[in-house]
């Protein structure tokens, strides 16, 4: 099985978000969540169906639960509340604002360009071609990212679907490539969502998906202390095992799953006061390790499938 990691010299990574804008996003989400508490009582795992789930952490009075069987983390939230959250006008206005888009563009363009390049490579690897593709991009909320995918050498037709962005694109009925990037995190029923997505994928088409993983180092180490995990933006944090299960149940053959996340250690170091007292080793590591050791540790997480960011390529089962 393919294992992969990215390597950058320690200390080179810029913040992905503007702190002020991110604070605003969280404030909007928090206000909504406090006004719309999670009402669903069902606590079975939405991925494997196990009823062996337990409380793992709480954020804004919303309980995150950990499945004992597939080790995924989820929030049981009423669907109507979730839909209302996803359609929240104040959040949408913030995210489509030129300031938000400009900040994202400045901080992430190089990462997106690298990702497009990676996608061109991996698509060629599995399809034997990376030109003339029909692409559907689900939920992309960044103008620059849309531009980059749209203008990629591999893209012949491009449709932006289910996005908050006011961008008109052509309609693609059947896609050679579906992009489902950072969408799984706010899916209450990820299996059903991917089943639906599969309907617009051609027989040999590819699904490229990325998502935060509940089995990742920073999330499990900090539990509720992870600043960038909050309801109802993040209600589904599958483990690597859970992610494989979702794909299998939704009718996909997994071609590769890697965890090339680069920020687990950064996140933990930034929130080190939130590491539980009993977690002696991690506290010791974070307090004493030099930047090379930290970088090596991140590489180990990436290679071992233990980073909290996963990248998946899959196709529909024959």
Partner 1 sequence: MEKIKVVIIGMGRMGKTRYDAMKRHGGYDIIGLCDTDPARGIYYKEPFYSDWKLCIDQCHADAVIVCTYNVVIPDIVCYALKKGCAVFSEKPPGRNLADTLKMQKACEGSICKILKFGFNHRYHNSVIEAKALVDSGILGDVVCARGVYGKAGTPAFPSEWRNDRAISGGGIMLDQGIHMLDLMYYFMGKFTDIQSSVNQLVWKDMDTEDSVFSILHTEDGKVASLHSSAIQWRHKFSLDLICSEGFISLNGLLTSTMSYGEERLTYYKKDLECKTGGLGQPIEHTMCFDTDESWDYEMKEFYDAVVRGKPVLQGTIGDAVNLMEMLEGIYHKNSIMQAE
Residues forming contacts to partner 1 in the complex (CB under 8 A) are 1-9, 12, 110, 114, 117-118, 120-121, 123-125, 130, 153, 260, 303
Q: Give the HSE-up count for residue 254: Cα atoms under 13 Å, Cβ half-sphere.
A: 18
- Among 308, 274, 269, residue whose Cα is nearest residue 11: 269
The bridge status of strand 201-212 relative to strand 309-316 is antiparallel
Smaller CB distance to partner 1: residue 93 or 117? 117
The bridge status of strand 73-74 relative to strand 236-237 is antiparallel
Residue 71: other Cβ atoms inside 10 A = 19
Smaller CB distance to partner 1: residue 105 or 169? 105
Phi-psi region of 305 (alpha: psi -120 to 50; beta: other; left: phi over 0): left
CB of residue 125 to partner 1, shortest distance in Å? 4
CB of residue 15 to partner 1, shortest distance in Å? 16
Smaller CB distance to partner 1: residue 118 or 297? 118
CB of residue 120 to partner 1, shortest distance in Å? 5
Smaller CB distance to partner 1: residue 15 or 114? 114
d(CA 73, CA 182): 16
Q: Tell me which DSSP letter residue 152 carries.
A: S
Smaller CB distance to partner 1: residue 66 or 179? 179
CB of residue 117 to partner 1, shortest distance in Å? 5
């Amino acid at each position: 099985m393919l294992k992969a990691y990215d390597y950058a010299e320690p200390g080179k990574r810029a913040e992905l978000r503007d702190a002020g804008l991110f604070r605003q996003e969280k404030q909007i989400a928090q206000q909504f969540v406090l006004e719309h508490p999670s009402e669903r009582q069902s606590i079975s795992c939405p991925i494997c169906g196990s009823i062996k789930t337990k409380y793992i952490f709480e954020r804004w009075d919303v309980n995150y639960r950990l499945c004992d069987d597939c080790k995924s983390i989820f929030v049981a939230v009423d669907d109507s509340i979730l839909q209302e959250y996803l359609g929240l006008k104040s959040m949408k206005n913030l995210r489509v604002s030129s300031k938000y888009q400009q900040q994202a563009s400045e901080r992430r363009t190089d990462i997106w360009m690298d990702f497009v390049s990676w996608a061109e490579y991996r698509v060629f690897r599995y399809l034997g071609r990376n030109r003339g593709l029909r692409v559907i991009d689900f939920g992309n909320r960044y103008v620059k990212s849309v531009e980059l995918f749209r203008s990629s050498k591999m893209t012949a037709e491009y449709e932006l679907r289910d996005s908050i962005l006011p961008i008109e694109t052509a309609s693609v009925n059947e896609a050679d490539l579906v992009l489902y990037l950072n969408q799984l995190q706010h899916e209450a029923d990820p299996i059903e969502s991917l089943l639906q997505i599969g309907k617009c994928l051609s027989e040999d088409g590819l699904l490229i998906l990325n998502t935060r993983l509940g089995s990742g180092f920073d999330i499990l180490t900090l539990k509720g202390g992870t600043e960038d995990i909050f309801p109802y933006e993040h209600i589904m944090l599958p483990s690597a095992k859970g992610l494989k299960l979702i794909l299998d149940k939704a009718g996909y053959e997994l071609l590769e799953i890697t965890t090339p996340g680069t920020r687990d250690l950064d996140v933990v170091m930034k929130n080190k006061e939130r590491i539980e007292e009993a977690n002696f080793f991690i506290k010791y590591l974070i307090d004493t390790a030099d930047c090379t050791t930290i970088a090596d540790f991140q590489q180990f997480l990436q290679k071992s499938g233990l980073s909290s960011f996963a990248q998946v390529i899959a196709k529909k089962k024959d």
